[in-house]
Amino acid sequence: MTVGFFYLFALLLTIHCYFEAPKHEILQGSPIFLQTSKETELRLALNELEQLQVSRVERLITEEEKHVETRALEILFAAMEGTSWKSSISWLNGQHPCASGSSWFGVHCSGSGHVVGISLSKQNLIGELPHGIFSSLQELKFVDISNNNISGELPSDIGSCSKIIFFDASHNSITGYVQDFFGTMDSLRFLFLHHNQFTGSLPSSLVETQTLSVIAIHGNRVEGRPAYGRMQAHPPCTKVGQNYTIPSEKDVLLDVYESLNGWSWPRNRGWEEGQAGDPCLQCWYGVTCTLDGYVTELRLPKNALYGTIPSSLSSFRHLRVIDFSYNPIFGSFPQGALYLPSLRELDMSGTFMDPFSLALPSFGEELGSLGRWRWNGDLFHWRVHESVTL
Q: What is the pLDDT of residue 267?
A: 84
When divided into structural domains, the chain yields a total of: 2
Q: Kindly state whether residues 184 and 251 are assigned to the same domain.
A: no
Q: Kindly state whether residues 120 and 255 are assigned to the same domain.
A: no
Q: Kindly state whether residues 215 and 300 are assigned to the same domain.
A: no
- Residue 148 inside a domain? The answer is yes
pTM summary value:
0.54
Per-residue pLDDT at 336 exceeds 70: yes
Q: Kindly state whether residues 78 and 167 are assigned to the same domain.
A: yes
- Residue 211 inside a domain? The answer is yes
pLDDT average, residue stretch 48-73: 68
SS (H, E, C) the chain: CHHHHHHHHHHHHHHHHHCHHHHHHHHCCCCEEECCHHHHHHHHHHHHHHHHHHHHHHCCCCHHHHHHHHHHHHHHHHHCCHHHCCCCCCCCCCCCCCCCCCCCCCEEECCCCCEEEEECCCCCCEEECCCCCHHHCCCCCEEECCCCEEEECCCHHHHHCCCCCEEECCCCEEEECCCHHHHHCCCCCEEECCCCEEEEECCHHHHCCCCCCEEECCCCEEECCCCCCCCCCCCCCCCCCCCCCCHHHHHHHHHHHHHCCHHHCCCCCCHHHHHHCCCCCCCCCCEEECCCCCEEEEECCCCCCCECCCHHHHHCCCCCEEECCCCCECCCCCHHHHHCCCCCEEECCCCCCCHHHCCCCCCCCCCCCCCEEEECCEEEEECCCCCCCC
Q: Kindly state whether residues 202 and 71 are assigned to the same domain.
A: yes
What are the tens digits of pLDDT across the range 192-222?
888 899 998 888 887 777 777 677 787 888 8
pLDDT average, residue stretch 33-50: 42
- Residue 310 inside a domain? The answer is yes
Q: Kindly state whether residues 260 and 324 are assigned to the same domain.
A: yes
Q: Kindly state whether residues 111 and 218 are assigned to the same domain.
A: yes
Domain assignment of residue 274, given as a range = 247-382
pLDDT average, residue stretch 46-75: 68
Mean pLDDT of the chain: 72
What are the tens digits of pLDDT across the range 276-304?
567 877 678 898 887 667 888 999 988 88
The percent of residues above 90 in pLDDT, for the chain, comes to: 22
Q: Kindly state whether residues 98 and 197 are assigned to the same domain.
A: yes
Q: How confident is the model at residue 8 (pLDDT cuts 50, 70, 90)?
A: very low
> Can you give the CATH number for the domain in which 129 is found?
3.80.10.10
Q: Out of 85-89, 159-163, 265-269, which region has the weakest mean confidence (pLDDT)?
A: 265-269
Ranges 148-152, 208-212, 231-235, most confident: 148-152
Q: Kindly state whether residues 209 and 323 are assigned to the same domain.
A: no
